[in-house]
Amino acid sequence: MADHVDRILEQWKAEKPDLDVSPMAIIGRLSRAALAVDARLANTFARYGLDASSFDVLATLLRSGAPYRISPVELARDAMISTSAVAQRLNKLEARGLVSRQANPDDGRGTLVALTAAGRKLIETALLPHLETERAITASLTVEEKTLLAALLQRINDAARPLK
Amino acid sequence: MADHVDRILEQWKAEKPDLDVSPMAIIGRLSRAALAVDARLANTFARYGLDASSFDVLATLLRSGAPYRISPVELARDAMISTSAVAQRLNKLEARGLVSRQANPDDGRGTLVALTAAGRKLIETALLPHLETERAITASLTVEEKTLLAALLQRINDAARPLK
DNA sequence: TATTGTTATACTCTATAACTATA
DNA sequence: TATAGTTATAGAGTATAACAATA
């Protein structure tokens, strides 16, 4: 079951036999798996006129629970992007009537972003096929393998994080 | 050892208790791990005036072995991008004197991209710290865990691939 | 007709900087 | 002074389309 990464490793073995390129087996497959998964998820999002960024914002609002209101800073932290990037995502979603911005009554500087009825309906609808796609991608793994994979990825995440 | 993804799962559990959101534990960590790894690798690349795209082209040429010459179509296939994107990457690398373009003597339509002496020196130099970074990221895993993780990622990759 | 390769163009997404306003 | 939020701007990267040339 040799894949593309295996062929890359063979090339390195031939060209640089003294080098330990074994970490590439993991890092290479991690990158490619993430790319493939992103592309697959994008297919589902597109069926609802969404992309990963928009889905992300709407899903963050939905899972925050009633009354489905969050500040832009929280959205920025959650998505690991700048607040200006958030503002621009929100402009698009607001133009489509999927979210609305309200003044924060407790903080004159603040804004609260809320799901509109249309936004809530859309994300509730898109969530199910999205989960089905994720289920399909992980379906071949046993329960034990899933737990293990999640744990290993978390450790990779921790190890990669240190440097900014 | 709860991480960000754990908190997201808890939110979903509270808001949508009947939904099986367990695939998110894997997909979510996969995305975040890939992001963190990319950022970490970029640090190393930057020390040599490279980014991931440039490194990718130079490394592909190096591991192809002497005489370190590849056609743009092969580079496109390998990097999974369009040939026009390759042409634009090559323009930059050629301007820096790291690769050169030659006519393919066996195919009048073809071009062969070759590492220049400077390009070869740069990629040979950058390769070692790059591998060291990858080694550091995977260092906490045992040999068995590494093998397992690579295999699981390959299966995720296969499962995600089907749809275009 | 298909393939190889390039450029021109437009698009998307982002961060930085500048700015307003409130704490 | 620091924080919240927005817009304007510029940059990076890509794909699509159009094109030239050879197979």
Of B40, B127, B154, the CB nearest to A160: B40
Q: Kindly list the residues from chain B whose CB atom is less than 8 angstroms away from the CB atom of residue A36.
A: 156-157, 160-161
User: Does residue A89 approach strand C to less than 7 Å at its CB?
Assistant: yes
Asked if residues B70 and B112 have their Cβ atoms less than 8 Å apart, the reply is yes
**What does pTM read for this prediction?**
0.93
Would the pLDDT of A26 be above 90?
yes
Q: What is the pLDDT of residues A116-131, one digit of tens each?
A: 999 999 999 999 999 9
B110: phi then psi, degrees, rounded to nearest 5:
-85, 160
Q: What is the pLDDT of residues B71-97, one digit of tens each?
A: 999 999 999 999 999 999 999 999 999
Angle B68-B73-B78 from CA coordinates, rounded to 5°: 75
Would the pLDDT of B162 be above 90?
no
User: Does residue B88 approach strand D to less than 7 Å at its CB?
Assistant: yes
Cβ-defined contact of B29 to A136 (cutoff 8 Å): no
What order of strands is seen across the sheet that includes strand A69-70? A69-70, A111-115, A99-103
Using C1' positions and the CA of B87, the closest nucleotide is: C6
What's the CA–C1' distance between B88 and D13, in Å? 10
For residue B56 the two structure tokens come to 């990718």
Query: What average pLDDT does the structure give for chain A?
Result: 95
Residue in the block written with tokens 């992103």: A38
DSSP conformational letter for A114: E
Q: What is the pLDDT of residues B138-151, one digit of tens each?
A: 999 999 999 999 99
A55: phi then psi, degrees, rounded to nearest 5:
-55, -40
* Strand D nucleotides in reach of protein CB atoms, 7 A cut-off: 3-8, 12-18, 20-23
Q: Is A161 exposed, middle or buried (0-12, 13-18, 19+ CB in 10 A)?
A: middle
Asked if residues B140 and A155 have their Cβ atoms less than 8 Å apart, the reply is yes
Q: Locate the chain A residue with the closest alpha carbon to B78.
A: A4
Alpha-carbon gap: A23 to the closest alpha carbon of chain B (Å):
6
Q: What is the pLDDT of residues B15-34, one digit of tens each?
A: 999 999 999 999 999 999 99
Cβ-defined contact of B157 to A32 (cutoff 8 Å): yes
Q: What is the dihedral of CA A106, A107, A113, A115, to 10 degrees?
A: 10
Cβ-defined contact of B146 to A3 (cutoff 8 Å): no
Taking the C-alpha atoms of residue A25 and residue A92, their distance in angstroms, rounded to an integer, is 40
* Strand C nucleotides in reach of protein CB atoms, 7 A cut-off: 3-8, 12-18, 21-23
Residue type, B100: S
For residue B45 the two structure tokens come to 């690349």
CA-nearest of B54, B65, B58, B45 to B131 is B45
Would the pLDDT of B2 be above 90?
no
